[in-house]
C-alpha cells in the first residue's frame, strides 16, 4: 500500500495551473473539475471526500486563511477555472446569487415578492439556502393556516 503523498499540497497544486507568471492574468486550473470549478485533492488521502476541495477555495485559503462556513468564493474575473487569488473574493451566498442568470439569481435580484411586498430589511427573511422569504406573506400564510385549523376544530 502506498503511503500518503509526502509533498505539501501547495506544491502539487501548482502542477495543475497553466500559468501563474503574470500576477494580473487568470491562472487556469488544468487538473480535474466538476464541469465548472477545478477540483483538487488536498490529501493526504486521495479518495477521501473531505480531502477533495475546489481548487479556487484551496488557493484562497492558502493565501488568506480559512473561509467561514456560510461564505462562498466569487470569481471577479468570471472564469470559474481561474485560481488567481487576486481574482477571488469572499462573499455571502446571497451576494453570490445576485450574479448570473440561474433562476435563483433572478429571484435574488427581485426587489419585491410576487405580491409586491418590498424585499427590504424589515420585510425579508433570508432562509438557510440563501433564498429570501417575504415576512408579510409568511404572516398571512400563518393566519390562514391558523384559521383553517380553527375551522376544522369547528
Ligand atoms: Zn481570473
Ligand atoms: Zn409578500
**pLDDT of res. 5:** 55
Q: State how far the Cα of 92 lies from the Cα of 50, in Å rounded to an integer.
A: 22
Segment 50-97, tens digit of pLDDT: 778 999 999 999 999 998 888 889 998 989 999 999 999 988 766 665
User: If you average pLDDT over residues 108-135, what whole number do you get?
Assistant: 81
**pLDDT of res. 130:** 67
- Asked whether the predicted pLDDT for residue 107 surpasses 70, the reply is no
Q: What is the Å distance from ligand 1's center to 108 Cα?
A: 25
**pLDDT of res. 99:** 60
Segment 5-37, tens digit of pLDDT: 567 889 999 999 986 668 888 999 999 999 999
**Which comes out higher in pLDDT, residue 145 or 55?**
55
**pLDDT of res. 143:** 87
Q: What is the Å distance from ligand 1's center to 99 Cα?
A: 16
Long-range contacts of 92-98 (CB under 8 A, 24+ apart): 92/130, 93/129, 93/130, 94/126, 94/130, 94/132, 96/72, 96/130, 97/130
Q: What is the Å distance from ligand 2's center to 114 Cα?
A: 6
Amino acid at each position: 500500500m502506498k503511503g500518503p503523498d509526502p509533498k505539501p499540497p501547495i506544491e502539487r497544486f501548482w502542477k495543475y495551473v497553466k500559468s501563474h507568471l503574470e500576477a494580473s492574468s487568470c491562472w487556469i486550473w488544468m487538473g480535474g473539475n466538476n464541469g465548472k470549478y477545478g477540483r483538487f485533492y488536498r490529501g493526504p488521502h486521495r479518495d477521501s471526500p473531505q480531502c477533495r476541495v475546489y481548487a479556487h477555495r484551496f488557493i484562497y485559503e492558502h493565501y488568506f486563511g480559512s473561509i467561514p462556513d456560510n461564505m462562498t468564493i466569487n470569481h471577479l474575473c468570471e472564469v470559474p477555472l481561474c485560481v488567481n487569488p487576486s481574482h477571488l473574493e469572499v462573499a455571502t451566498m446571497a451576494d453570490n446569487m445576485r450574479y448570473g442568470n440561474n433562476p435563483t439569481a433572478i429571484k435574488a435580484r427581485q426587489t419585491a415578492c410576487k405580491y409586491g411586498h418590498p424585499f427590504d430589511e424589515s420585510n425579508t427573511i433570508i432562509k438557510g439556502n440563501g433564498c429570501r422569504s417575504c415576512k408579510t406573506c409568511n404572516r398571512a400564510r400563518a393566519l390562514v393556516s391558523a384559521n383553517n385549523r380553527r375551522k376544522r376544530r369547528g
